[in-house]
């Protein structure tokens, strides 16, 4: 049984992620059928997961509750010695914006468990070749290309 409605799943699959790179430039990852943009500086990063602690099961919470969950999630990342940085997942029109984390070279199962423990519907995986939306509450899994916009 799919626990995410078709409309909500479609919204997840169109999510864009904004972040600042090492040179403090504002960048945006956009799902697309083609591929455009260079992978993370040719570094040793093989994949990046995007996960949020905010708004369990897409129910808006007050900012102080989300911040408390985010501090707890950061403590988990630190415990496992995961390298991470802040980012934002958002709808393409910017109406829904959610603070999130980019986690570098972690294990998929570890990020799934963390996302699940914070009652998230989905996580994202970004690789040199794909952009994925992975449901944590159903068997839904979306794979496409990506591009970077400044």
pLDDT digits (tens, 9 = 90+) for 73-87: 999 999 999 999 999
Structure tokens at 44: 């040793």
The tally of CA atoms less than 13 A away on the side-chain side of residue 26 is 3
- CA triple 15-140-57, angle to 5 deg: 60
The predicted model scores a pTM of 0.93
Q: Is residue 121 part of a domain?
A: yes
Low-confidence residues in the chain, pLDDT < 70: 1-2, 36, 40-42
Q: Is residue 1 part of a domain?
A: no
Q: Is residue 75 part of a domain?
A: yes
Counting the structural domains of the chain, the total is 1
Q: Is residue 49 part of a domain?
A: yes
Give the list of residues 6+ apart from residue 128 with CB closer than 8 angstroms, or none: 39, 46
Domain that holds residue 15: 6-149
Residues 116-128 pLDDT 10s:
999 999 999 999 9
Tell me how far apart the alpha carbons of residues 70 and 118 are, in angstroms, rounded to a whole number.
Answer: 9
Q: Which residue has the tokens 């999130």?
A: 100
First to last CA, the chain: 39
């Amino acid at each position: 049984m799919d626990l995410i409605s078709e409309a909500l799943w479609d919204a997840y699959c169109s999510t864009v992620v904004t972040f600042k790179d090492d040179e403090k430039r504002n960048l945006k990852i956009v799902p697309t059928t083609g591929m455009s943009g260079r992978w993370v500086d040719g570094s040793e990063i093989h994949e990046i997961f995007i996960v949020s602690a905010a708004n369990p099961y897409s129910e808006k919470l007050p900012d102080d509750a989300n911040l408390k969950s985010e501090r707890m999630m950061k403590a988990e990342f630190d415990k496992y010695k995961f390298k991470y940085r802040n980012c934002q997942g958002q709808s393409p029109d910017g109406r829904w914006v959610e603070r999130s984390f980019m986690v570098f070279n972690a294990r998929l199962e570890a990020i799934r468990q963390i996302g699940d423990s914070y009652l998230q519907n989905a996580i994202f995986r970004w690789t040199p070749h794909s952009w994925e939306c992975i449901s944590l509450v159903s068997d839904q899994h979306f794979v496409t290309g990506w591009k970077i916009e400044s």
